[in-house]
Amino acid sequence: MKAVVIYERGKYEVRDVPMPRLNDGDVLIKINYAALCYRDLLQLAGYYPRMKYPVILGHEAVGVVIESRDPRFKPGDRVVPLLHEPDGTCEFCMRGLDSYCINALSYGENVDGFFAEYARVSGNALVKVPNEVPDELAVLVPCVIAMVYKGLKRAGLTHGETVVVTGASGGVGIHAVQLAKALGARVIAVTRSPDKAKFIRQFTDDVITEQRFSKVVKDLTNGVGADVVIEAVGTPTLDESLKSLRSGGRVVVIGNVNPDESYPLRLGYLILKDVVVIGNVRSNRSDVAETLRILSRGLVRPIVAATYPLDKFSDALDFMRNNSRIGKVLIKP
Ligand SMILES: [Zn+2]
Ligand SMILES: [Zn+2]
């Protein structure tokens, strides 16, 4: 089968590889779609310390079960894998917090991922997809939409609260805007591009294109500030995000475009404003299942900037680095 293989740090090629072999508890899936993510660029660059070589890149996928050695799944089931493969037995897994699994493997990093025609996945990492959720949406759930859902759940979002989303035209942002809306929030999107703002407007209550967006957020909320900010950019916008919050507000940090950059967090500001900062590692299986259930109501539309075949993978990478796109880049094997 064909696959995108990283054979040494920073180097990859689309090559023929043997079909994956299954152990007990494993499932063979045929990949319907895989999606590109900034995490792929970091894995490709060897940013993570536990990379194995060679490894098949890719951690976002939707597929159909071809063969199963896990009694929970049968051929024909449509499934999405988590970003990681939990062991299902550690203390965290037992508590339903499989995203913290101490023995987890990461797809595209130290276990083969999904830019391939087929993939081996542990049943512990799989969630069935409801019929109402199309492939193009399901593929975005574990790494994108369920991550946002998990963050909003931890932020304790309630109906009618105001949510600000930074980086609103990106793969995370454009779906975060829609999910927050589906969960009953008033949504204010932040993007730098007036062109993109026109597209985003259809999904939100307000769009801000100013660099100093906190002032506009205050104006739009009668001087109070936002209840929650989804920070989908990172250090470049975090200061304005914190300033946008009301007293007692919560910021969910999802994006981190400059992974080596630090941010000087002023504790006095945090204390006096009573702000909650929420991190966000990968989603749990339960987050993915709950998100899929919400999405089956049809309130979130997948925004796909382009779809490429596997052997045009380098074009897809180039396109993803291109700033003018809105939404995600998919790979169809
Ligand atoms: Zn991802
Ligand atoms: Zn575990």
pLDDT tier at 286 (50, 70, 90 boundaries)? very high
How much distance in Å is there from the Cα of 59 to the middle of ligand 2?
18
The closest ligand to the CA of 60 turns out to be: 1
d(CA 149, CA 229): 13
Mean of the pLDDT values across residues 283-287? 97
Residue count (the chain): 333
pLDDT value, residue 257:
75
Using the Cα atoms of residue 270, residue 271, residue 273 and residue 274 in order, give the sign of their dihedral: positive
The closest ligand to the CA of 94 turns out to be: 2
Give residue-wise pLDDT tens across range 123-171.
Answer: 999 999 999 999 999 999 999 999 999 999 999 999 999 999 999 999 9
Considering the chain, what percentage of its residues have pLDDT values greater than 70?
Answer: 100
Give residue-wise pLDDT tens across range 251-269.
Answer: 999 988 777 888 888 899 9
How much distance in Å is there from the Cα of 17 to the middle of ligand 2?
29
Domain ranges of the chain: 2-140+302-332, 144-278
pLDDT value, residue 86:
97
How much distance in Å is there from the Cα of 99 to the middle of ligand 2?
8
pLDDT value, residue 325:
84
Give residue-wise pLDDT tens across range 230-249.
Answer: 999 999 999 999 999 999 99
251 Cβ contact list (under 8 Å, min separation 6): 228, 229, 231, 238, 241, 242, 245, 275, 276, 277, 278
The closest ligand to the CA of 255 turns out to be: 1
Angle at the Cα of 105 from the Cα atoms of 42 and 15, rounded to 5 degrees? 60
d(CA 244, CA 217): 6
Residue 13 backbone dihedrals phi, psi, to 5 degrees: -155, 155
- Long-range CB contacts (within 8 A, 24+) of 310-317: 310/2, 310/3, 310/4, 310/14, 310/115, 310/116, 310/117, 311/2, 311/14, 313/4, 313/12, 313/14, 313/115, 316/36, 317/36, 317/40, 317/41
How much distance in Å is there from the Cα of 38 to the middle of ligand 1?
7
Considering the chain, what percentage of its residues have pLDDT values greater than 90?
Answer: 92
How much distance in Å is there from the Cα of 192 to the middle of ligand 1?
23
Give residue-wise pLDDT tens across range 86-124.
Answer: 999 999 999 999 999 999 999 999 999 999 999 999 999
The closest ligand to the CA of 82 turns out to be: 1
How much distance in Å is there from the Cα of 93 to the middle of ligand 2?
4
pLDDT value, residue 110:
94
pLDDT tier at 322 (50, 70, 90 boundaries)? confident
- DSSP code for 262: -
Neighbours of 47 (CB within 10 A): 14
How much distance in Å is there from the Cα of 40 to the middle of ligand 1?
7
pLDDT value, residue 131:
98
How much distance in Å is there from the Cα of 193 to the middle of ligand 2?
42
pLDDT value, residue 261:
86
How much distance in Å is there from the Cα of 104 to the middle of ligand 2?
6
27 Cβ contact list (under 8 Å, min separation 6): 65, 67, 68, 69, 70, 73, 79, 120, 121, 122, 123, 126
pLDDT value, residue 256:
80
Homologous superfamily of domain range 144-278: Medium-chain alcohol dehydrogenases, catalytic domain (3.90.180.10)
How much distance in Å is there from the Cα of 35 to the middle of ligand 1?
8
pLDDT value, residue 155:
98
226-231 sheet: strands from edge to edge? 206-208, 186-190, 162-165, 226-231, 245-253, 276-278
The closest ligand to the CA of 146 turns out to be: 1
How much distance in Å is there from the Cα of 93 to the middle of ligand 1?
21
The closest ligand to the CA of 58 turns out to be: 1
How much distance in Å is there from the Cα of 283 to the middle of ligand 2?
14
How much distance in Å is there from the Cα of 273 to the middle of ligand 1?
32
- Judge if the upstream peptide bond of residue 54 is cis by omega within 30 degrees of 0: yes
Give residue-wise pLDDT tens across range 191-228.
Answer: 999 999 999 999 999 999 999 999 999 999 999 999 99
d(CA 187, CA 92): 34
Whether 149 and 289 have beta carbons less than 8 Å apart is answered as no
pLDDT value, residue 75:
98
Is the confidence at residue 271, as pLDDT, over 80? yes
Give residue-wise pLDDT tens across range 42-90.
Answer: 999 998 889 999 999 999 999 999 999 999 999 999 999 999 999 999 9
d(CA 299, CA 184): 11
Whether 58 and 39 have beta carbons less than 8 Å apart is answered as no
Query: Model's pTM, two decimal places?
Result: 0.95
3-state secondary structure at position 34? strand
Write the class of the CATH domain 2-140+302-332: alpha beta
How much distance in Å is there from the Cα of 222 to the middle of ligand 2?
46
The closest ligand to the CA of 125 turns out to be: 2
How much distance in Å is there from the Cα of 268 to the middle of ligand 2?
37
Q: Is 2-140+302-332's fold the same as 144-278's?
A: yes
Angle at the Cα of 198 from the Cα atoms of 193 and 202, rounded to 5 degrees? 130
Give residue-wise pLDDT tens across range 23-44.
Answer: 999 999 999 999 999 999 999 9
How much distance in Å is there from the Cα of 189 to the middle of ligand 2?
36
